[in-house]
Amino acid sequence: MESPASELRETGISVVGDVRWGAHLCHFYETKEDLLDILIPYFRAGLENNEFCIWVVSDPLGEEEARDALRQVVPDADRYLQAGHIEIIPHTRFLSSRQRDSPADQIEIIPHTDWYLKDGAFIAERVLSGWSQKLADARARGYAGLRANGNEAWLTPENWEAFSEYEKTLDQNLAGQRMIVLCSYPLSGSSAAQIFDVVDTHQLAIVRREGKWEIVETPELRQAKSEIQRLNAELEQRVIERTKKLKETTERLRAEIEERKEVEGALRQSEERFAAFMDNLPGYAWMKDLQGRYVYVNEMVRGLPGYRSLGKTDAQIWPADLAAEYRANDQQVIAAKKPLQTLEHYQQEGKHRYMAGSKFPIFDKAGAVALVGGAGVDITERIEAEEALRASEERFRRLVEVMPVAVYVCDTSGIIQSYNHRAVELWGREPKLGDTAQRYCASLRLYSPEGKLVPHEESKMAEVLRTGVPARDLEVVIERPDGSCLTVLVNIAPLRNGAGELIGAMNCFQDITERKQAAKELEEMNHQLRFLSHRLFQIQEEERRHLARELHDEIGQTLTAAKINTEMLRAAVPPDLAARLNENATILDRLLQQTRQISLDLRPPLLDDLGLVPALRWYVNQQAERSGLEAEFSADPLADDVPPHIRIVCFRLAQEAITNVVRHADAKTLMVELRRADTFLHLIVRDDGEGFDVAAAKARAEQGASLGLLGLTERAALAGGGVHVSSSPGEGTTVEILLPVDIAESAMATQTTSERKSGGE
């Protein structure tokens, strides 16, 4: 049985062909059609070769589109779907242990949120463990191995570094495993540094250029080719040395033949030794007479067509052009009486091949050339590798030229060797290649983001060339020859040769001037909006307190006085009027209760007098009594030890969340918890109601149809906290709120308070 490392598997991708188990590939796409052009044949090949397939989808390709595209190319897909041969799982939970309906499920299509993320966070160890478990399951169910694809369009700058490290670990883990993993990256959303990171962590990269898919080779592959070149050079040297030894051996044998030509037995023995030696050479060897007829060929030459019988010339074996080339080299050896190093080509099984060798004269006793000997080795693979390397370098050069970022390459002394047109646009001038006066782009002034002038000898490019350590995502301000300044994002990668020696560095930089200005303006606007929102909530809370006080102190007292006067009049009026006064007293009593309730709802005195915990306990009990809910409230003893503004915010958030339960949840039970965790106040409101689709609710809120979730989130954010809502239809709802309690009121709140004290009210 073949080991995973040696077994070839069909990828279904024509530009790649077959790969071995453990392959870790990537491709860059621009459109949804690019994705399907690679992934559909890729998965079809896996299904047809008894491989278990996992397809992790993300924008722009959804689960339903993936299913339809697969049906279009897999014969009888619907029959397989009914029989369970292909299972499309739109919402499979990550590492779900549920029992499937059929043991023959062969493909899963999973959204990235269920595979890569847990509660919105990416955890590499969890995903790596998931791949191992899936492979073990596939092998246990009789599949040849696991074929997977993940679309990484969901990546953000915050989790890029962690995901890049995960890719490196996955690449190491795949060695020797029966897995093939193809990673998809959007080209438009990837920076130059990210493209280099992706190519560096994969064995092979595929990109579409001018309508065709092409392969971008990794540094490891280029290093391997360099190693092949080195080995071929050593082989060539060994051939030369062995050819020299062959010549010496031939001369010794000829001397022996001359000395023992009357001893037939010794001569036959010598010839047998010679033949055995020549047949075991790691290359081709032959001898011709002066007319070009072959008088001897070794075993490797006899394996070529036309050499089975001696006495033929090259003209009788090869086409006229090849025969003329061989004969011209032979005649040069005869005329010069010296060896000739050759590179000759020939045809074998319809393929054009190359042989590097040596032709040398064989002299008779009189010193005249009697024969022309030759020895050579096939170097077709080496030449093809060199041509492929040149083609790869050309493709890379074209890729750099069409990149939307500026790129230039320096040697180890900082002299510019190459650049693309985008670099010229950002520099504002055309540099002179090899100009020592322009080391490290000396025609430009460099500044740090803080405005400090940076000498070119102390620039990041100079540092990378000294240390060999890459520089990533650095902001630099450049002053161009016309005096204008740009802010650029710089990524510098060291360049090394096949021996690992530093030979230069590549600088990829992007103009982010407009982005920086827009970000600054956006931040200023957001600050103003946050300030206004905070001030609005503050005014609202002050109005609530004022209204509650007015209702309780003024209107409440007035209603109480009216009720007392009504009761006093009942004894002094006739019975028929007393009934009316009783009715008025009842109305006044109900109105007084409603006024008190409104006052409590606006601003319960417990919140100011006794604190957050008693106020929340009273509110939960009151709402439970009103709505018939079974309510439970629990709190930490330290939960009340919070700043006043956090106390108010927490109460209002709880009030809004509980109101939503009463109005919309159709719940039977309500649980409210208040916990003090380190530097945060943790509020949890949980019900057993009908639940809802959180994503759909957020979408409606963003369109202005409902402001409940946005109101919760905004109020918590103004206090430096956050809100997390988890719910699904029929499963109830849990609202978790975290509020910071170890910091003073925000700067906006402080500013508002200062304005109020100085007469702003």
Q: Quick check: is 687 in a domain?
A: yes
Query: 715, 707 in Cβ contact below 8 A?
Result: no
How high is the pLDDT of residue 539? 63
CATH code of the domain covering residue 352: 3.30.450.20
Q: Are residues 374 and 454 in the same domain?
A: no
- Alpha carbon distance 342, 347 (integer Å): 16
| CA 276 remoteness from chain centre | 58
- Alpha carbon distance 576, 567 (integer Å): 15
Does position 444 have pLDDT exceeding 60, yes or no? Answer: yes
- Decide the pairing of beta strands 733-740 and 680-687: antiparallel
- How many CB atoms sit inside 10 A of residue 167's CB? 20
Q: Are residues 413 and 454 in the same domain?
A: yes
Q: Quick check: is 391 in a domain?
A: no
Number of domains in the chain: 5
What is the sign of the dihedral through the CA atoms of 405, 411, 413 and 415? negative
pLDDT in tens, 315-348: 888 888 888 988 999 999 899 989 999 888 777 7
pLDDT in tens, 417-434: 787 877 777 777 777 666
Q: Quick check: is 398 in a domain?
A: no
- Alpha carbon distance 22, 5 (integer Å): 7
Query: 175, 22 in Cβ contact below 8 A?
Result: yes
Question: Who wins on pLDDT, 546 or 198?
Answer: 198
Mean pLDDT computed over 17-31:
93
The residue count for the chain: 761
Q: How confident is the model at residue 436 (pLDDT cuts 50, 70, 90)?
A: low
CATH code of the domain covering residue 153: 3.40.50.300
Q: Are residues 417 and 358 in the same domain?
A: no
- Decide the pairing of beta strands 680-687 and 669-677: antiparallel
Write down the pTM of the prediction: 0.34
Instruction: Spell out the residues 6+ positions from residue 81 whose beta carbon is closer than 8 angstroms to its own.
Output: 87, 88
What whole-number percentage of the chain has pLDDT above 70?
Answer: 75
Question: Who wins on pLDDT, 83 or 607?
Answer: 607
Q: Are residues 72 and 210 in the same domain?
A: yes
Q: Which two tokens stand for residue 450?
A: 């803080």
Q: Are residues 372 and 426 in the same domain?
A: no
> If you average pLDDT over each of 66-80, 158-172, 354-368, 603-617, which comes out highest?
158-172
Q: Domain boundary residue among 471, 487, 511?
A: 511
How high is the pLDDT of residue 212? 84
Does position 746 have pLDDT exceeding 50, yes or no? Answer: no
Domain that holds residue 748: 611-761
Q: Quick check: is 66 in a domain?
A: yes
Q: Are residues 407 and 272 in the same domain?
A: no
* Distance, first Cα to last Cα, the chain: 86
- Alpha carbon distance 488, 478 (integer Å): 7
Q: Are residues 323 and 346 in the same domain?
A: yes
Q: Domain boundary residue among 511, 542, 563?
A: 511
Q: Quick check: is 1 in a domain?
A: no
Provide the β-strand partners of residue 681. Answer: 676, 739
Q: Quick check: is 2 in a domain?
A: no
How high is the pLDDT of residue 599? 54
Does position 164 have pLDDT exceeding 90, yes or no? Answer: yes
Give me the amino acid identity at 241.
E
Looking up tokens 């080209």 gives 187
Give me the amino acid identity at 216.
V
pLDDT in tens, 576-603: 777 677 777 777 677 766 665 565 565 5
∠ CA(591), CA(607), CA(672), 5° rounding? 95
- Decide the pairing of beta strands 284-289 and 294-297: antiparallel
Q: Quick check: is 433 in a domain?
A: yes
> If you average pLDDT over each of 110-124, 278-292, 446-460, 741-755, which comes out highest?
110-124
Q: Are residues 254 and 190 in the same domain?
A: no
Q: Are residues 487 and 539 in the same domain?
A: no
Q: Are residues 503 and 519 in the same domain?
A: no
Q: Quick check: is 676 in a domain?
A: yes
Q: Are residues 617 and 734 in the same domain?
A: yes
Q: Are residues 174 and 253 in the same domain?
A: no
CATH code of the domain covering residue 646: 3.30.565.10
pLDDT in tens, 135-158: 999 999 999 999 999 999 999 988
Q: Domain boundary residue among 603, 638, 659?
A: 603
For the chain, what is the mean pLDDT? 78
